[in-house]
Structure 1
Amino acid sequence: MITRKLLIRQMSRRELDELVNSAAQEGWNPGLHDADVFWATDPDAFVAAELEEALIGGGAITSYDGEFGVMGFFIIRPEFRGLGLGNALWHARRERLLARLRPGASIGMDGVFAMQAYYAKGGFVFSHRDIRFRAEIPDHLDATPVGGEQITPLTEIAFEQVVAYDRTCFPAARASFLNGWLSQPDTLALGCRRAGRLSGYGVIRRCREGCKIGPLFADDAQAAESLFLHLQGFAAGGPLFLDAPENNPAAIELARRYRMVEVFGCARMYLGPPPDLAHRRIFGVTTFELG
C-alpha cells in the first residue's frame, strides 16, 4: 500500500544538499564541495524518492556522454527502510539510467558489502573490492622525494593531457567532471612528470572529516608513492582517507606501507561488460558516488 504512494522524480539542487547530508549521517564522509561538482557534472543524474510530499531518499544515475553510467548515492531514510520503498527506487533508477545510455553501455557501482547479494539479483556482477583506508597525519610532515619524478601543480599541465591520462583509468572521457573536480575549493591537485611526460596525477580534498585522496592514478608504485607523499601534507593534523582497489595489489601495499588502517569498503560491480582499464594505474578511486 505504501509503495504505491511513492513518487520517483528528478531531484532539485536543494534536495541534493539534503542527500549529501544524509550520506554524511551514514558515515560516508562526503567532500565539502561534492554537491556543487556533482550537480555541475550531470544535474539530470539525481533522482528523488518522495512520499506524501516528503523527501525520503534518492540516488544518482550519472551518465558520461551515454558511454558509461554510474549508480551511486543510494539512500533511504532509516525510518522508511524495510517497506519496499528502497527496492522500488533502486529498480526505477536502474531503468532510468539504462535509458540514458547507448545500447550495450555498461553501468558501474560501488555498493556496500551487505547489499552485494541484492545488487547481484539486479544483474550486477562483482569485480573487486575497493577498500577505504585511514591514517592520522602529524601536524608537520615533509614530503620525501621518491625516484626521479617531478611533482607539480596540475594546473601547470595541459588539461587535455590530464583528461587523456584519466581516460586510461576510467571507462569514459569525463572532461566536464574533471574541470569541476580539479578546480573546487579546499583541494590540492598535483601531477607527476617523468622525463617530461605525465606519469600520474592525484587530488586531495577536504571532507566532513579530514581529507580524502581521490583519484590517485599513476604509471607505477613509485610514481603513486611520490604523489601520495606530497598530497598527504594537505591533511596535516587530521585524518587522511584513501579508497584503494584490491585488484591492484600495489595500491593496497602503498596504504599499508604508510600504516593506514582499513575502515570501510565497497564492492565494485558492473551491469554489462566490465570496462577495459589500466587497473595497475589505479591506486585511489575518485569517488564512490560518481565513479
Structure 2
Amino acid sequence: MNSSEKKTIFINKLNDFKVKKATLQDWECVVQWGNREGWNIGYHDADCMYSVDNDGLFIGWIGNQAVAAVSLINHSEQYAIWGNYLVNSEFRGKGYGKAVCKVARSHAGNRDIGSNAMPHMVSNYEKSGLKPTYNIIHYTGELKKIASENIKEISIIKPHHIDTIIKYDGLFFPTLRQKFLNSWLFSSGHTSYLKMVNGDILGYGVIRPLPDGFRIGPLVARTPTDAEELFNALTSNLPENTKVSIFLPEYVHGSFFSFLRKRELFEQFHVVYMHKGNFKLNIPNDIYGIANLDLG
C-alpha cells in the first residue's frame, strides 16, 4: 500500500467520493475557499495547524476535485477543536460536508472538543453533542493611532520565555498547548509581546499579517489596562488607518470594548463557542482575544 492509499480513510464507490488526510499543499485550496467567504486567513495559519497536528486536516474529493474540508486539531490528549468547515460552492447541499465531518470525528478519540459556530449553525452542531457556551465577537476597523504610554514593561517574546508562557496560557485555555505556542509565537511575520513585572507575567499578545490588514490574537492579560497596553504595543508600528481585527469573548470587561471603539474598531459579527466534554469549562476574564477560530 502506498502513502496516498494510507491517507484515504473513506470511500463511497457510488460517486467516487473519498476523504483523505490533507497535506499543506492540498490545504491551499481550502484557504482560498475561506478567503472567498471573507475569513481573511493569516498567511501561516495552516502551517501552525499542521505543526500542532499533521493528521488533523481532512479534505473530501471527487476524483481530483476537492469538494469539502474540515480540520480537527488535537492540541493534547485532553482537548481538540473543530475548524475550517467549508464546502466548495459548486458542491453545497449534497451532504459532502457532513460526510467529511463524520470521517474526521474519530480523530479526536475521547477528547473534549470545542468549536466556533456561526449562529445559524448552532442547532446542527448541537446534534453532535456540542453545547453553546458564549459568543465570540469579531471587531475590526481602520486603526486610529494614539500615543503609546506605559509600555516600558512590555518586551518582545524570546525563546527563553516559552516555558513560562505555556504555563500561564494553560491557566486560561482548556489544555496546555506547547506545540501551538512554539509555532504561533515565532512564525514568520508574527510579532509577539510579553508584559512581565518582577518575573510575574501580566499578559502576552500576538499580531500577524493577513491578506487584508492585521489580526491580534491571542491577547491574554490580568486587567483591562494590561490588555490595552499590550494592544498599543502590538499596533505601535502600524501606520494610521491600517485595518486591524480581533476575535474577543463577549464577557470581556466593558472598558476594553470602549477602548476598541476609541481606536475605531467596531463589531462586525459574532460566532458561538460550543463545547463537548466531561470537565467543567473554565471561563476566565483574562482572555481579551483568541488566536483564531480554528485553533482557539
User: Shared fold by TM > 0.5?
Assistant: yes
Q: Aligned residue for 2:125?
A: 119
Deviation at 1:275, TM superposition (A): 4.9
Given that residues 188 and 234 in structure 1 are in contact (C-alpha distance below 8 angstroms), is that contact kept between their aligned partners in structure 2?
no
Deviation at 1:257, TM superposition (A): 4.5
Q: Aligned residue for 1:164?
A: 167
Q: Aligned residue for 1:134?
A: 140
Paired amino acid for 2:276: L
Paired amino acid for 1:67: Q
Pick the aligned partner of 2:107 from 92, 97, 101.
97
Structure 2 unaligned blocks of 5 or more: 1-11
**Greater helix share, 1 or 2?**
1
Residue 267 (structure 2) pairs with residue 262 (structure 1):
yes
Provide, for residues 104-143 of structure 1, a one-character-per-residue CA deviation record: whole Å limited to 9, x for no partner.
Answer: x3100111122111111221100011001012125x6531
Paired amino acid for 2:90: E
The alignment covers a number of residue pairs equal to 283
CA RMSD of aligned residues (A): 2.1
TM-score by length of 2: 0.88
Deviation at 1:278, TM superposition (A): 5.3
**Secondary structure of the corresponding residue to residue 158 of structure 2:** helix
Deviation at 1:279, TM superposition (A): 1.6
- Report runs of 4+ in structure 1 exceeding 4 Å deviation: 1-4
Residue 16 (structure 2) pairs with residue 11 (structure 1):
no
Q: 1:228 to 1:4 in 2, by over 3 A?
A: same
The sequence identity of aligned pairs, in percent, is 24
* In 1: Cα distance, 2:154 partner to 2:285 partner: 20
Given that residues 141 and 236 in structure 1 are in contact (C-alpha distance below 8 angstroms), is that contact kept between their aligned partners in structure 2?
no
Matches within 5 A, 1:226-241: 226-237=229-240, 238-241=242-245
Residue 70 (structure 2) pairs with residue 82 (structure 1):
no
Residue 249 (structure 2) pairs with residue 245 (structure 1):
yes
Deviation at 1:234, TM superposition (A): 4.0
Given that residues 48 and 184 in structure 2 are in contact (C-alpha distance below 8 angstroms), is that contact kept between their aligned partners in structure 1?
yes
Q: 1:159 to 1:279 in 2, by over 3 A?
A: same
Structure 1 unaligned blocks of 5 or more: none
Provide, for residues 234-270 of structure 1, a one-character-per-residue CA deviation record: whole Å limited to 9, x for no partner.
Answer: 4434100011101233454443343421112211001
Deviation at 1:196, TM superposition (A): 3.3
TM-score by length of 1: 0.90
**Secondary structure of the corresponding residue to residue 43 of structure 1:** coil
* In 2: Cα distance, 1:88 partner to 1:243 partner: 29
Paired amino acid for 2:274: M
